[in-house]
Structure 1
């Protein structure tokens, strides 16, 4: 084959894998022009046209539009620049498809109704900037109207939920639940109180009365129970609670009876808000953070176990 070889449309179609109709369309659009015509009026194309068509086919298969391809062929744009832009666009498409797949799996697994399905889709369709605005509105609505401690605000901002590009179904479900929580006025009030209390680090009445040694023993006992997989509502939790109640009774000079257990549960409940605790767990899930056992709050387990023992 040499540079003087001319090809009819049928031969170009065979060599490029494009259809005759497509080549004719590209020719009419000026993407590739015929070199000359045969005596019978048929279009003939040279080697340059063949190479242009092969490039057009490659770029089209990579998802580039015809207008952009024409600018590449006319050397207004480089292939490298266009490829980089399209690679970014493909990344966005992959991210959205991955989120869509995760939403569908959550919907299928939870048997979601149409309203919940629509909400999940809308929330996951938000851009990164849109999700940040949602969280910024939450922080402003929670702390903006009061003279909040900057440390409390920083505490909440430091754990901004950030939905990853390859989010799992669990992470999508957690993100949707977070989005519902942050728009709830009651939750905002509870989060404000919890964050400011945590920053202040003021001990509870029962913590002051028990002393550091007994509280350290309590934290260790509950942490070991959790690591052992002991359900606070199970019979296996009873010996742990019995030991703790006996120790508190000795230190506080009280009788280890149901009244003491009830009082202990009420005292520890002051430092625990189940809705706020749920929020932090959801943030851990969305951000893909490892749950470290000794950083988990001990009071939820302790309160449940104390209440269960009293009920029994």
Structure 2
């Protein structure tokens, strides 16, 4: 392959055959990526027949933007059954995915500013400036950890966070960027009291009861979500029974008409965070798409079904008493 009688070549010939500069060959040699076969009497570098293929491989790996340590590991495993190349490519793809997501969010944010009325630009710039790109869900998770019952098992907390914290879309529309920015601002605003107001169920169910409650609510919300997707009006049925059963299990009590009435009254006065769920729905719903149910919208549907059921039961009670007195 090389023109010399000993089958070796100098740094200039190697660089010419590989289509790179002498400086490039020297750089890779000095970092141990391209070993020399020997040195001439005058101290010049000499490379063996495999140097050209190795140099071309190094160039290919660097073209993929793999860092030098990764390239070194791949070269070390070139003739082995190692997975250095596969691991490096997978890491590079993950990093590239994050970069692309950040670029898409920046593009959508720029379009948001470009398309909004001049009078709204200052407010939107302030919202976007307070948000990382790509956005982080950590503030949302912290908000819920402060809202959820204390000492609730980590597994139960994690399961709730999976459905309560909307994941930023990879390719957002400007409206979704605005909704996520507003959602981040919402969870970071200071509370009016010393602590976030908690529903009564959090104070009375205890740690174990809270885990049972939220596991049951997750099932009920899923059932209610299916009805919301069908545009069904709230009605008593499997979803409502599952909803009530979650509270029955948490309180270790019985499901009776009186319990349902008291539950409806308590839930009606519990603290609400409707704005969170409205914004969460905007984040996960692309413009023009069907609004996806959230735990908040499912809860409202179930509460409306419970209210309707208890109102009907109360209206029927006087009639039953009148019939019994005849």
Give TM class, smaller chain.
0.5 to 0.7
Match for residue 130 of structure 2 among 119, 124, 130: 119
- Give the conservation status (yes or no) of the 8 Å contact 2:169–2:284: yes
Match of 2:27, SS?
helix
User: Aligned ranges for residues 66-105 of structure 1 at < 5 Å?
Assistant: 66-75=68-77, 80-105=83-108
- Give the conservation status (yes or no) of the 8 Å contact 2:9–2:47: yes
Count of residue correspondences: 219
Q: Which whole-Å CA distance do the structure 2 matches of 1:36 and 1:54 have between them?
A: 20
Report the counterpart of residue 46 of structure 2 in structure 1. Answer: 44
Match for residue 158 of structure 1 among 160, 163, 167: 163
Q: Which whole-Å CA distance do the structure 1 matches of 2:159 and 2:63 have between them?
A: 48
Report the counterpart of residue 178 of structure 1 in structure 2. Answer: 183
Q: Which whole-Å CA distance do the structure 1 matches of 2:127 and 2:182 have between them?
A: 11
Match of 2:131, SS?
helix
What is the deviation of 1:277?
A: 4.3
Q: Mark the CA change 1:156 to 1:46 in structure 2 (over 3 Å): closer, same or farther.
A: closer
Deviations 1:16-50 (A, max 9, x none): 23221010122223322332345655333221111
Q: Which whole-Å CA distance do the structure 1 matches of 2:99 and 2:283 have between them?
A: 16
Q: Mark the CA change 1:53 to 1:29 in structure 2 (over 3 Å): closer, same or farther.
A: same
Q: Which whole-Å CA distance do the structure 1 matches of 2:9 and 2:173 have between them?
A: 53
Match of 1:121, SS?
coil
Q: Which whole-Å CA distance do the structure 2 matches of 1:284 and 1:191 have between them?
A: 22
Structure 1, unaligned runs of 5 or more: 200-218, 221-269, 299-312
Deviations 1:192-222 (A, max 9, x none): 59x9xxx9xxxxxxxxxxxxxxxxxxx69xx
- Give the conservation status (yes or no) of the 8 Å contact 2:127–2:181: no
Report the counterpart of residue 291 of structure 1 in structure 2. Answer: 291
User: Aligned ranges for residues 255-266 of structure 1 at < 5 Å?
Assistant: none
- Give the conservation status (yes or no) of the 8 Å contact 2:11–2:46: yes
Q: Mark the CA change 1:116 to 1:286 in structure 2 (over 3 Å): closer, same or farther.
A: closer
Moved more, 183-192 or 78-87: 183-192
What is the deviation of 1:119?
A: 0.7
Q: Which whole-Å CA distance do the structure 1 matches of 2:23 and 2:36 have between them?
A: 15
Q: Which whole-Å CA distance do the structure 2 matches of 1:36 and 1:14 have between them?
A: 19
Match for residue 147 of structure 2 among 142, 145, 151: 142
Q: Mark the CA change 1:288 to 1:55 in structure 2 (over 3 Å): closer, same or farther.
A: same
Q: Mark the CA change 1:191 to 1:15 in structure 2 (over 3 Å): closer, same or farther.
A: farther
Report the counterpart of residue 320 of structure 2 in structure 1. Answer: none
Q: Mark the CA change 1:192 to 1:82 in structure 2 (over 3 Å): closer, same or farther.
A: farther
Q: Which whole-Å CA distance do the structure 1 matches of 2:88 and 2:45 have between them?
A: 35
Q: Which whole-Å CA distance do the structure 2 matches of 1:163 and 1:78 have between them?
A: 38
Q: Given the alignment of the two structures, is residue 279 of structure 1 paired with residue 276 of structure 2, yes or no?
A: yes
Q: Mark the CA change 1:292 to 1:183 in structure 2 (over 3 Å): closer, same or farther.
A: closer
Moved more, 277-286 or 184-193: 184-193
Structure 2, unaligned runs of 5 or more: 114-120, 203-213, 215-232, 235-266, 302-326
Deviations 1:67-117 (A, max 9, x none): 332233333986633432442343234224423432343244233566434
Q: Which whole-Å CA distance do the structure 1 matches of 2:292 and 2:33 have between them?
A: 61
